A and B are shown apart, each in its own frame.
Chain A
Amino acid sequence: MRRLVAPTASTAAAIGVDGGRRRVLKLMAASAALAGSGCGQPPPEKIRPYVNMPEGMAPGDPVFYASTLLRQGCGVGVLVETESGRPIKIEGNPAHPASLGAADAQSQAAILTLWDPERSRTVMRGGQPSTWTTLLDSLATQMGQEAAARGGGLRLLSGPVSSPTLLAQIGEILARFPEARWHVHDPAGCDAAKHAALQLFGGPVQPLYRLEHAHTVLSLDAELFGPSADGLRNAHDFMNARRGEPRARMYALESTPGLCGAVADTRIALSPAGMEAVLDMIASQLGVSDAMAEQRPGPQAAWVSRLCTRLSAAHGASAVIPGHSLSSRAHLLAWRINTRLGNLGRTIHPIAQRLPPAPLADGTHDAAPAPEGLGALVQAMHDGDVQTLLMLDVNPVYDSPGALDFARGLSRVACSIHMGLYRDETAHASNWHIPMAHELEAWSDARSFDGTASLVQPVIAPLYGGLSAHEVLDMLAHMRTRSAHELVRAQWRNAWNMNDAEEFERRWEEALRRGVIEEAQADRLVPIDEKALKARLPEGPGPEPQLIAVFANDHNIVSCNQANNAWLQELPRPYTKITWDNAALIGPATAGRHGLRNGDVVSLTSADKPDGLLAPVWIVPGQAEGVVTLPLGYGRHQGGSVAQGRGFDAHVLQEVRNGMSLRSAAVQLRPTGQHHAFAATQHEMGLAGREPVRSVSLHARDGADAADAAPPSLYPPRQYGGPAWGMTVDLDACIGCNACAIACQAENNIPSVGPEEVARGREMHWMRIDVYHADSGGRAQFQPMACQHCENAPCEIVCPVGATMHDSEGLNVQVYNRCVGTRFCSNNCPYKVRRFNFFDYADHDPSAAARANPDVTVRQRGVMEKCTYCVQRISHARIEAQKQGRPLRDGDVVTACEATCPTQAIVFGDTADPRSRVSRAKASARNYTVLAELNTRPRTSYLARIHDKEAGLEEEDDG
């Protein structure tokens, strides 16, 4: 451990975060002192003040920096909370269009990756530790040769790139080595969509959704609400449209339950081919399809025509959104339908993907040709045309389709250089590995999904000696090492072509403060190519195979860099509640046909891969029958102890057709008789005749009451002098994205306990997202469930030592240092929201201590814990208000879950103040409390979901 720790400390010292180190020591000392008995002189502590105090920083007061996190190359704005120079928490950046103040689970968890002691620390050569200088030397010679060959053997492989600086640098390299090629590998992306767009627009174009203008949305396996670069924004926009009049409608066709299905007015389980058929039928009804799709008789035709009428009724305010699993033909159809429905430029903006500038003779710039895909690179590697390959933050050896066999190609490359956060599969297969700096450790910039440029601002010096991609590319292009900081500033100085240094500094400072450096231009819409639109469609899909595998992005682990993140690993998947694992998801009927139960291991084989892979199944209600969904991102062999050896690698079965890596494949399924024990956090998803989740019909929104009559009490209600904190959760707005759960974990130092403990039912999440399968359609209802802060708290009466009690603002307080661990409170809690430290779960790694929120106690073994309504934030706000001699205002206290929620489903505040947002929410007729009959009088209440009868596609609602 010490070997791992040393660099942390030294780097921290270098940038003077000794306050941080002090806290590190303090926490470690604490854990040492607390362990075992509670007595004994505390170990002597050092206080290390700054040598010179950085301006605007006071020890003990958090400082927020605006920065940007990358999601598939696109930027998502965040605010990073630092405590004495140590980044400890991530919030959304309200000024950034991709965040609007919200942050998703992946962004929240980035803090853990940042501090991950298993990140790569040294330059490696052929598996041996090497140095940056040796790399430079050999690189110099290598590039010399390349220069001679005009870069004929030089290849650059990266993920999708939006950073203006990086694009410029790539442009430089391509200019300097005309024969060199740039390839982009985007395992989480969708080649079919790109291909379709290429055909229609003649260039790389991405659809940008403007759901706030949408009234009727048809999602076909689309991961609208993330995790992706635009997920937060889509969720936010769609929920706003839902709150408006008329209420926006969502129709979801899904092969496996996704977040859209949960909020859909009608959700229908269909295989990708089925969805394509639906698109065909819609297209032909709208008359935009030359191929007259065979009208399938029966109910499907019926609801498709209803759907069609609804879509065309909402002309210009509808959106047909195909997802990854659909073929490029289906995407073409979708574009046509959207064009016909007049959605282009309204709800769907086709925007051009940014390309590196290619300098022209006259000094002006032109866009370089679009990057090639992975297929072309592998081809070149097999042909032996690649001498030098630089791989920036990609892991193709693991996450490229098995059909490509990237590793074999790579072995034929003379000089392969990998740069990444971890020593992953590709790092081990390459000649060189360069540790990369985390987004929060190095300067850069990025564009969001809508083109807004923001700065990637480091909040701490590289903890493990990582380098920035800019520095490496600068090396490649000019054989010099300017700091990323200089490079980025130079880039923007040119972009603004400013010579006035002062003016530049002012604008730069402003950009740093807001995080946004350049607003999106609205005029970047790409016109659709009419000819291509009219062109004949390719042949429809052949006869559907009996079983088709769909390769889906995992809900939590989207990129390889997130795989070693224990928070994301332990975060239950929205529908299966599986942690630490991926599973082959199948429908009940399919399972029945093969006689499978949850956890039975099956072998999946395809025509190309007769040996196939072994995968345990999980039966999901609402899964399309005949479809087995295989989440990607698991079955890692390298890349950290957390990532390795979990789940199965579905890439093996992934096929490639004319350069596109396909998202589905025909497979055969055979039970093996083996069994795999999953660690799931929720076992019963039926309602068992209870009403924890409720819904009211749309038009009774203000009429009928969702709440039960409050039972009488023997005692008069307590009068609270000051604020009476309370919370509401809007079940109609909750999309089950889990962001709140991770935000809570990050804010409150909640440990992750590992798969074994989860399997024993000992997960520690204070905020758990319950899922109930309300109806057979598999349309689920999510319910964020944390401590309800009951007025008549059952937990408090039974605690023998008064470790849980009410404070004068009505909080149900848990006093860790008083708790002896009888666990009686948990037994008596009807919501079972209390969590217990059965073992010493707290992470005692110094990096964890440095990461921990210093305002929240790190809990000892044997004590109970639970949601505190972020009491530390309440005290902070109260103290600030008191110092200013003013009462607390609504919004002064924002809990971690509330802050991060993309749809503002969670509202927290003072229920004693009738004008507060929470009081207004509680006044709604949809407001109800769970298990009210027990007379616990919870402070947390829920707003019943709205059931829009008219929106349904079912027979009876028709007409």
Chain B
Amino acid sequence: MAEHEEKAVSPGTPELGAGWTAGGVTDKIAGVVLGRGGPWTRGWHAHWRWRSALLISFGGVLTLLAASTWLFMRGVGLFGVNIPVAWGFALGNFVWWIGIGHAGTFISAILLLLRQRWRTSINRYAEAMTLFAAGIAGLFPIFHLGRPWFAYWLLPYPNRMELWPQWRSPLVWDIFAISTYLLVSLLFWYVGLIPDLASLRDKAASRGKRLGYGILALGWRGDARHWRHYETAYLLLAGLATPLVVSVHTVVALDFSIGNTPGYHSTIFPPYFVAGALFSGFAMVITLAIPLRHYFRLHDFITLRHLELAAKVMLACSLFVAYGYASEIFTAYYSGDTYEIHMTQDRFTGMYAPVYWVYMFCNVVVPQLLWWRRARRNVPTLLVVSLLVNAGMWMERFVIVVQSLHADYLPSAWGVFLPSVWDWVFLLSSIALFVWLFLMFIRYLPMISMAEMRGLVQETAEEAKP
């Protein structure tokens, strides 16, 4: 039975470098976490880079804590919001983060259903990104409440006032959509982690780590029965998560389009928000992938093909979003509605016009570069584009939230929103929180699914057989 003896070795495909065995990938990825053979001990300096990055971002986290304490003490007036512009940065950030929190589940769920092989090596960290982004997004509605200590009144629970949430409000839908989304994404992520946690358990040297990972692994043995149920459950989760992804940002879009404000009240919003979400999401995936593969030498796992495909998705989203922008303008003028037309003209020429044109450039013009294969396969270009798209999408949210409100129906009520210093503090420190969480993640959990990579090695090896 000699032919059984030699191990499967990856022949080298666009998605996976050559010469990797199941053991090899396991050691490589687990190494990053367990510090054995990982970059933490290797010659080049991922270690201190990571440390300093962690410190800096932690500073940001502390700032966020301090700022929110002060916010809860003094009141939401710290932000630049007013009447008529009652929603400001907080809501913009919320939508932006939620959007970023979309790519992860999209990749792991939809690409899984579509049997996209390039999903394998990016889904894990993309899901982590999703979790963190969605979590941070969840903070902002609470920050922006007038009386945050009563935030729980939005939940249905038995109370001596015999009162309930008001189910017609999109904000209540939000609560349900986002908490569901967080929970399901968490489950999805965790279920995906179980076999890897087992691997870590079995590779870990110290008793402490074995115990920690072991408990989290729930005693996973790689039993064939486990694998069977596991795969069914995972597939079902993917099936459930797919409509969920779409629904969440649809609900977020409804926060606006349910309203009657010109600039909010538009039927294009749900699809156009979902596309925007994926747009920023994939931008963030690329933004994260590039340093990861660079610092941890993951070029064989996160290959140029991965980046290229992500870039293609981004390009598609950009086109969809551009269509959204166009249709907004078209419907405004086609409707002949004074208020819509005024709002649109104000977008073009009003006081927020510079922001508008900048994000038009970032979200519509810049991504067109990606039509060129050379651009798609050029890492620096991709990094710049994805960063611009992230910024652009934030500005888009800002303009939608603020500019629509500042001049709506009665001219007498028109007003101006100017961000206060606190608006900026909260935006920047929330980014710091995201970075911090992500750094912790790559340090303590495998950023790529080892089990699936082993499968991939085997799969590619067998395909390569004559």
In the bound complex, residues from chain B placing their C-beta under 8 Å from that of A839 are 74-75, 77
Interface pair B408/A832, CB less than 8 Å apart: yes
- Does B52 have its Cβ within 8 Å of any Cβ on chain A? no
Identify A826's interface contact among B80, B83, B255, CB under 8 A: B83
- Does B416 have its Cβ within 8 Å of any Cβ on chain A? yes
Interface pair A827/B412, CB less than 8 Å apart: no
Of B26-34, B124-132, B167-175, the stretch lying at the interface with chain A is: B167-175
Interface pair A690/B145, CB less than 8 Å apart: no
Bound complex: CA of A38 vs CA of B152, how far in Å? 13
Interface pair B338/A689, CB less than 8 Å apart: yes
Chain B 257-290 residues near chain A, CB threshold 8 A:
258-261, 264
Question: Closest CB-CB distance, B165 to chain A, in whole Å?
Answer: 6
Bound complex: CA of A762 vs CA of B86, how far in Å? 10
- Does B166 have its Cβ within 8 Å of any Cβ on chain A? yes
Bound complex: CA of A4 vs CA of B81, how far in Å? 35
Bound complex: CA of A785 vs CA of B411, how far in Å? 12
- Does B409 have its Cβ within 8 Å of any Cβ on chain A? yes
Bound complex: CA of A818 vs CA of B166, how far in Å? 12
Q: A827-B405, A838-B81 are in contact. Are A802 and B411 (CB under 8 A)?
A: no
Q: A798-B171, A834-B83, A838-B76 are in contact. Are A38 and B411 (CB under 8 A)?
A: no
Q: Mark A769-803, 1 if CB is under 8 A from B, else 0.
A: 01110000000000101000000001011111110
Of A433-441, A855-863, A889-897, the stretch lying at the interface with chain B is: A855-863
Question: Closest CB-CB distance, A577 to chain B, in whole Å?
Answer: 9
Bound complex: CA of A798 vs CA of B264, how far in Å? 13
Question: Closest CB-CB distance, B457 to chain A, in whole Å?
Answer: 50
Interface pair B412/A785, CB less than 8 Å apart: yes
Identify A831's interface contact among B82, B150, B342, B409, CB under 8 A: B409
Most buried by A among B87, B148, B169, B342: B169
Interface pair B77/A688, CB less than 8 Å apart: no
In the bound complex, residues from chain A placing their C-beta under 8 Å from that of B338 are 688-690
Bound complex: CA of A783 vs CA of B264, how far in Å? 27
Chain B 363-418 residues near chain A, CB threshold 8 A:
405, 407-416
Bound complex: CA of A838 vs CA of B144, how far in Å? 11
Q: A690-B410, A838-B75 are in contact. Are A863 and B147 (CB under 8 A)?
A: yes
- Does B55 have its Cβ within 8 Å of any Cβ on chain A? no
Identify B82's interface contact among A37, A762, A934, CB under 8 A: A762
Identify B410's interface contact among A36, A805, A831, A860, CB under 8 A: A831
Question: Closest CB-CB distance, B156 to chain A, in whole Å?
Answer: 11
- Does B291 have its Cβ within 8 Å of any Cβ on chain A? no
Most buried by B among A772, A801, A831, A835: A801
Interface pair A862/B171, CB less than 8 Å apart: no
Interface pair B166/A823, CB less than 8 Å apart: no
Q: Mark A690-707, 1 if CB is under 8 A from B, else 0.
A: 101000000000000000
Bound complex: CA of A686 vs CA of B411, how far in Å? 7
In the bound complex, residues from chain A placing their C-beta under 8 Å from that of B75 are 837-840, 861-862
Q: A797-B168, A802-B165, A838-B77 are in contact. Are A822 and B146 (CB under 8 A)?
A: yes
Interface pair A692/B83, CB less than 8 Å apart: no
In the bound complex, residues from chain A placing their C-beta under 8 Å from that of B410 are 690, 692, 770, 785, 830-832, 930-931
In the bound complex, residues from chain A placing their C-beta under 8 Å from that of B163 are 801-802, 818
Q: Tally A-B pairs: CB < 8 A.
A: 175
In the bound complex, residues from chain B placing their C-beta under 8 Å from that of A828 are 259-261
In the bound complex, residues from chain B placing their C-beta under 8 Å from that of A768 are 412
Interface pair A684/B77, CB less than 8 Å apart: no
- Does A613 have its Cβ within 8 Å of any Cβ on chain B? no
Q: Mark B69-98, 1 if CB is under 8 A from A, else 0.
A: 000001111001111111100000000000
- Does B48 have its Cβ within 8 Å of any Cβ on chain A? no
Identify A934's interface contact among B144, B255, B260, B413, CB under 8 A: B260
Interface pair A862/B84, CB less than 8 Å apart: no
- Does B444 have its Cβ within 8 Å of any Cβ on chain A? no
Bound complex: CA of A796 vs CA of B167, how far in Å? 11
- Does B153 have its Cβ within 8 Å of any Cβ on chain A? yes
Question: Closest CB-CB distance, A683 to chain B, in whole Å?
Answer: 6
- Does B56 have its Cβ within 8 Å of any Cβ on chain A? no
Range, interface on chain B? 35 or more
Interface pair A36/B87, CB less than 8 Å apart: no
Bound complex: CA of A783 vs CA of B172, how far in Å? 36
Q: Which residue of B lies closest to A691 (CB)?
A: B338
- Does B154 have its Cβ within 8 Å of any Cβ on chain A? yes
Question: Closest CB-CB distance, A597 to chain B, in whole Å?
Answer: 15
Bound complex: CA of A684 vs CA of B75, how far in Å? 29
Question: Closest CB-CB distance, B301 to chain A, in whole Å?
Answer: 44
Question: Closest CB-CB distance, B117 to chain A, in whole Å?
Answer: 43
Interface pair B146/A38, CB less than 8 Å apart: no
- Does A618 have its Cβ within 8 Å of any Cβ on chain B? no
Bound complex: CA of A757 vs CA of B165, how far in Å? 32
Bound complex: CA of A820 vs CA of B146, how far in Å? 6
Identify A864's interface contact among B82, B144, B146, B411, CB under 8 A: B146
In the bound complex, residues from chain A placing their C-beta under 8 Å from that of B413 are 770, 831-832
Bound complex: CA of A743 vs CA of B259, how far in Å? 32
Interface pair B80/A37, CB less than 8 Å apart: no
Q: Mark A670-695, 1 if CB is under 8 A from B, else 0.
A: 00000000000011111111101000
Bound complex: CA of A831 vs CA of B75, how far in Å? 25
Q: A800-B166, A838-B81, A839-B74 are in contact. Are A821 and B411 (CB under 8 A)?
A: no
Interface pair B83/A801, CB less than 8 Å apart: no
Bound complex: CA of A838 vs CA of B84, how far in Å? 13
Interface pair B342/A761, CB less than 8 Å apart: no
Q: A761-B416, A838-B75, A862-B147 are in contact. Are A802 and B166 (CB under 8 A)?
A: yes
Bound complex: CA of A837 vs CA of B164, how far in Å? 24
- Does A725 have its Cβ within 8 Å of any Cβ on chain B? no
Identify B412's interface contact among A37, A772, A818, CB under 8 A: A772
Bound complex: CA of A757 vs CA of B144, how far in Å? 18
In the bound complex, residues from chain B placing their C-beta under 8 Å from that of A830 are 260-261, 408-410
Question: Closest CB-CB distance, B305 to chain A, in whole Å?
Answer: 45
Bound complex: CA of A44 vs CA of B415, how far in Å? 45
Q: A823-B81, A823-B87, A827-B86 are in contact. Are A684 and B166 (CB under 8 A)?
A: no
In the bound complex, residues from chain A placing their C-beta under 8 Å from that of B81 are 823, 838
Bound complex: CA of A836 vs CA of B85, how far in Å? 11
Interface pair A821/B146, CB less than 8 Å apart: yes
Bound complex: CA of A37 vs CA of B163, how far in Å? 19
Identify B146's interface contact among A689, A757, A794, A819, CB under 8 A: A819
Question: Closest CB-CB distance, B114 to chain A, in whole Å?
Answer: 36
In the bound complex, residues from chain B placing their C-beta under 8 Å from that of A824 are 86-87, 169, 171, 255, 259
Q: A761-B82, A821-B146, A827-B259 are in contact. Are A798 and B409 (CB under 8 A)?
A: no
- Does A593 have its Cβ within 8 Å of any Cβ on chain B? no
Interface pair A798/B82, CB less than 8 Å apart: no
Bound complex: CA of A834 vs CA of B80, how far in Å? 17
- Does A3 have its Cβ within 8 Å of any Cβ on chain B? no
Identify A860's interface contact among B147, B148, B172, CB under 8 A: B147
Bound complex: CA of A835 vs CA of B83, how far in Å? 7
Interface pair B150/A38, CB less than 8 Å apart: yes
Chain B 166-223 residues near chain A, CB threshold 8 A:
166, 168-172, 175
Chain A 18-63 residues near chain B, CB threshold 8 A:
36-38
Question: Closest CB-CB distance, A599 to chain B, in whole Å?
Answer: 14
- Does B151 have its Cβ within 8 Å of any Cβ on chain A? yes
Q: A683-B416, A861-B75 are in contact. Are A837 and B146 (CB under 8 A)?
A: yes
Measured CB to CB, the residues of B under 8 A from A are: 74-77, 80-87, 141, 144-151, 153-154, 163-166, 168-172, 175, 255, 258-261, 264, 338-339, 342, 405, 407-416
15 contacts between A and B (CB under 8 A): A684-B407, A685-B412, A686-B411, A689-B338, A690-B338, A692-B411, A761-B85, A770-B413, A794-B259, A798-B258, A824-B255, A827-B259, A828-B260, A838-B146, A839-B74
List 7 tightest A-B contacts by C-beta distance, closest first. A821-B146, A862-B146, A838-B77, A761-B82, A832-B413, A770-B412, A823-B86
Sample of 14 further A-B pairs with CB below 8 A, known A37-B149, A801-B153, A801-B166 = A38-B149, A692-B411, A761-B415, A761-B416, A783-B412, A785-B410, A798-B171, A800-B165, A801-B163, A823-B81, A828-B260, A838-B81, A838-B146, A863-B146
